[in-house]
Structure 1
Amino acid sequence: MTDMPSEHTEGLLRIGEVARLLNLSVGTLRHYEQMGLLEPAYVDPASGYRYYGSRQLSTLNTIGNLRVLDLPLTQIREFVTTRDMDLIQRQLTKQQELIEHRRRELERMSRKIDQRLALLHGALNADLDTISEIEEPELRCAALHERVNPTDAYSLGWHIRQLQQGQHETFAYLGNLGVGIAPERLAAGDFDGYDEVFLLLDDTDDYLGEIETRPAAHCLTISFRGTHGQAAPRYERLLGYMHEHNLTPAGPSREIALIDDIISDDPTTYVTQITVPVAPAK
């Protein structure tokens, strides 16, 4: 089949030449045509070859510049077919708002990753089975107040679904999901089961539902190798420490699996942390 220029194609470029010139694929140019973004200057009725001129090259430059701004092709089509300046201003303003929202979300996720990495680092380097006195800041949490007796993270699946119900975002339950024993039961030495399941919230969490604020407190903390099922002996040690130092529980315990079967299949690596707010005994 001849490829000699005719009166219709003089000065025009074939689709392959345009693709090479603008570093695009032939498939992309055909896709633009199918979407109504770009009409060839001429289509040879015999061969089906497509030819493009300066007007099409200008349109492709416009498309390329707007794609750099991540504007959707459907919006670009609306603009290139109208060249309405008010329209492009509205589209770019909306795109700027979307990008700003994504930027905030990425920053939020980055902070969460930093927090999880810090928790993992602390768990991997914890001085196990050693009681320490620490100052804990004010905490926000969502809590289910009911008796539970979990042995590992999977035992809390139903409670996780309850905490997640009605939320517009999915929470990552890594180092922020825990169980607690009421202070009255702690003081009485009753460590059989737990009185609440809680989800710790940071300042980036938009939780829909009742949120509790736990005040800043002086606390005792201990980390140990194992899961919730091995916690009772550590509570006994914490209670003994309180008696020795004339302290009493001042709030529910916070028992969190920092490393468990959600992130490791090796039980010898599991680490659980117990924190108990305390105050001087009267």
Structure 2
Amino acid sequence: MRIGEFVKEMESTKDTVRHYENLELLEPAWNNGQRIYGLQQKRDFEAIREMKSLGLSLKDIQTIVRLRRMKGCGSGHLIKGVSESLMILQGKLEKEEQAIRNKKRMVKELLEALG
């Protein structure tokens, strides 16, 4: 399929797809000088979307994709890279969670003082 159909199916934009191509996150096939998107590109796009939803940056995702292409899905380097990125993300989330708990406590104390 061509990019118009691909972005419609993926509920995205041409700009996003082109950006991912420039970052070498998506690699469409070529046919007579035209980009063709198929099942593999859909899977790659969904994987990018999922990793972004977990809070990984595009730079982290680039690293993961490069390692996967170089070493394969089960490689120790890939697993280590993903683990390190996820541990950093976990630390950030724990800090955010603590900040939210502190804010909730402060709001509760203010409400009790007003009540």
The bucket for the TM-score relative to the shorter chain is 0.7 to 0.9
Instruction: Supply the distance in 2 between the matched residues of 1:94 and 1:77 (Cα, whole angstroms).
Output: 16
For 1:247-270, what per-residue CA distance to the aligned partner results, in whole angstroms no more than 9, with x for missing partners? Answer: xxxxxxxxxxxxxxxxxxxxxxxx
Is residue 2:105 matched to residue 1:111?
Answer: yes
Equivalent pair of 1:18/1:52 in contact (CA under 8 Å): yes
Q: Which has the higher strand share?
A: 1
Percent identical pairs in the alignment equals 29
> Which residue is equivalent to 1:53?
38
Is residue 2:58 matched to residue 1:73?
Answer: yes
- Pairwise mapping of residues 57-136 of structure 1 onto structure 2 (< 5 A)? 57-83=42-68, 84-119=78-113, 121-122=114-115
Instruction: Supply the distance in 1 between the matched residues of 2:66 and 2:106 (Cα, whole angstroms).
Output: 44
1:41 is displaced (CA, Å) by 1.9
5+ residue gaps, structure 2, are: 69-77
For 1:182-237, what per-residue CA distance to the aligned partner results, in whole angstroms no more than 9, with x for missing partners? Answer: xxxxxxxxxxxxxxxxxxxxxxxxxxxxxxxxxxxxxxxxxxxxxxxxxxxxxxxx
1:112 is displaced (CA, Å) by 1.7
Alignment-mate amino acid for residue 27 of structure 2: E
Secondary structure of 2:12's aligned partner: coil
Summarize the Cα distance change of 1:112–1:51 in structure 2 as closer, same or farther, 3 Å threshold: same
Secondary structure of 2:56's aligned partner: coil
> Which residue is equivalent to 1:32?
20
Q: Which has the higher helix share?
A: 2
Is residue 2:7 matched to residue 1:19?
Answer: yes
Summarize the Cα distance change of 1:43–1:97 in structure 2 as closer, same or farther, 3 Å threshold: farther
Larger radius of gyration: 1
1:94 is displaced (CA, Å) by 1.8
Equivalent pair of 1:59/1:80 in contact (CA under 8 Å): no
Secondary structure of 1:42's aligned partner: strand
For 1:84-137, what per-residue CA distance to the aligned partner results, in whole angstroms no more than 9, with x for missing partners? Answer: 122112211221121111111111112122223334x25xxxxxxxxxxxxxxx
Secondary structure of 2:4's aligned partner: helix
> Which residue is equivalent to 2:75?
none
Alignment-mate amino acid for residue 98 of structure 1: K
- Pairwise mapping of residues 145-156 of structure 1 onto structure 2 (< 5 A)? none
1:29 is displaced (CA, Å) by 1.2
Between the two proteins, the alignment pairs up a number of residues equal to 106
Instruction: Supply the distance in 1 between the matched residues of 2:15 and 2:107 (Cα, whole angstroms).
Output: 39
Instruction: Supply the distance in 2 between the matched residues of 1:112 and 1:43 (Cα, whole angstroms).
Output: 61
Instruction: Supply the distance in 2 between the matched residues of 1:115 and 1:50 (Cα, whole angstroms).
Output: 59
1:44 is displaced (CA, Å) by 5.9
Equivalent pair of 1:32/1:38 in contact (CA under 8 Å): yes
1:77 is displaced (CA, Å) by 1.1
Summarize the Cα distance change of 1:75–1:115 in structure 2 as closer, same or farther, 3 Å threshold: same
Secondary structure of 2:36's aligned partner: strand
